[in-house]
Amino acid sequence: MATTATRQQAELRQKLDEILARYEHLEAQLADPSVAGNPGRVGEIMRELGQLARVARKYREYLDLTRQAREARELLESEEDQELRRYAEAEFDELQAKRKRIWQELRKDLSGGELANVSSLIMEIRAGTGGEEAALFARDLFNMYQKYATRKGWKVDVMDVSPSDLGGFKEIIFSVSGDGVYQHLQFESGGHRVQRVPETEAQGRIHTSAATVAVLPEPDEVEIQIRDEDLKIETMRSGGPGGQHQNKTESGVRITHLPTGIVVNCRDEKSQHKNRAKAMRILRSRLYELERQRIEQERASSRKQQIGTGDRSDRIRTYNFPQNRVTDHRINLTLYKLDAIMDGELDELIDALLSPDDGDEMPEL
């Protein structure tokens, strides 16, 4: 009977074979003169190729290394000259080490399932229990993700923000785009708890507050079609610090999707057109997430579950500032480097979440 690891390997190989076959099919289509004369189709192909390229090319390399390793093993088994055997053995070991490294990378690359190659997403951070301190923590979480994105070479675009009186965020919505964004950030959804002495605390006592995060993959417009008659669009004044700086024009936009009741506000831009475009992106992602929930109940958790209640007890991770400690409760991982993590050094934490649970095994030659 096949072991769990063997079954997982076979399933992963099947997915990789499908990705490579699709990639090569698209490459062949680009070489077809009838396709080359259709700019729209070429654009679609190039976009899909870009999404598949990282995994497909890496899998090609893995298959090539596997072929070379088999040849080195055959030489090792048939060669009688001791010096040549030592050479073949060293080459075989080196090839196997490379195979193992790339196999582990491929497992992580596909950890997001069919969304592993999504290159744009929308994150929502909302202050939960804790009043002003929770809003300040929501701001700190945004800064953490923004710094992490900068380290990764990703682009961050703030779409809407509701500031608190002391400079925190009651809520902030922003997009992140770049290679592998969903793969790396997919597990950030949920409740985040902070334990620290608030800026507003005069007695030096440690308080517990919470903020919540939702991660929504951003679909292409062709994937989610929204009918104009399903929308109620209203304008409002954009947010601002008040006084002479308050925006006097109604450039803010509120869009209500009538069939689902989803409401999106965007006030960050001075241009009503830009606010409307951002609001539509947020709405499209929320509708896409609802559709994913309907189709893939076993894989996708609902957005309500992602957001959680915002209560102190609803948590996936705890940030303890006095002890410089962060704990991820889903994988029982504790790191004493909270200062570095808040500065955007999330790789160790995220790599642990991405690591598959089937050990370091790779397919036999």
Domain residue spans of the chain:
4-110, 114-353
pLDDT above 90 as % of the chain: 52
Share of the chain above pLDDT 70, in %: 85
Q: What is the pLDDT at residue 262?
A: 95
Residue type, 72: A
Element (H, E) at 50: helix 39-78
In this structure, are residues 222 and 196 in contact, taking their beta carbons and an 8 Å threshold?
no
Asked whether the predicted pLDDT for residue 295 surpasses 70, the reply is no
pLDDT in tens, 230-262: 999 999 876 544 334 444 567 889 999 999 999
Q: Looking at the predicted structure, is the pLDDT value of residue 364 above 70?
A: yes
Higher model confidence: residue 248 or residue 199?
A: 199
Can you give the pLDDT at residue 248? Answer: 53
Query: What confidence score (pLDDT) does residue 265 get?
Result: 92
pLDDT (tens digit per residue) in 33-64 = 888 888 888 888 888 888 788 889 999 999 99
- Token pair for residue 30? 């680009």
CB 156 within 8 A of CB 146: yes
Lowest mean pLDDT: which of 70-79, 184-193, 340-349? 70-79
- The residues, ordered by sequence, that sit 6+ positions from 40 with a Cβ below 8 Å of its Cβ are none
Question: Letter for the amino acid at 76?
Answer: L
Number of Cβ within a 10 Å radius of residue 160 = 22
CA pair distance 29, 32, nearest whole angstrom: 5
Q: Give the pair of three-digit tokens for residue 64.
A: 């090539």
Topology alike, domains 4-110 and 114-353: no
C-alpha triplet 238, 171, 249: angle, nearest 5° = 0
pLDDT tens string 96-126: 999 999 998 888 777 766 666 678 899 999 9
DSSP-derived secondary structure letter, 223: T
Q: Which fold has domain 114-353?
A: Alpha-Beta Plaits (3.30.70)
Compare 80 and 70 and report the one with higher pLDDT: 70
Cβ pair 125, 138 in contact under 8 A: yes
Residue with the larger pLDDT of the pair 247 and 286:
286
Model pLDDT, residue 58:
93
Closest CA relative to residue 137, chosen from 179, 191, 63, 83: 191
**Which of 309, 264, 301 is CA-nearest to residue 286?**
264
Task: Average the pLDDT over 163-192 and give the result.
Answer: 92
Range ranked top by mean pLDDT from 82-91, 223-232, 319-328: 319-328
Q: Is pTM, for the whole model, over 0.85?
A: no
Out of 1.25.40, 1.20.58, 1.10.490, 1.10.3470, the CATH code matching 4-110 is 1.20.58
Sheet of strand 262-266, all strands in order from the earlier edge strand to the far edge: 231-236, 252-257, 262-266
Where are the extended beta strands (E) located within 144-247?
155-163, 169-177, 190-196, 207-217, 231-236
Mean pLDDT over the full length of the chain: 85
Give residue 85's pLDDT: 87
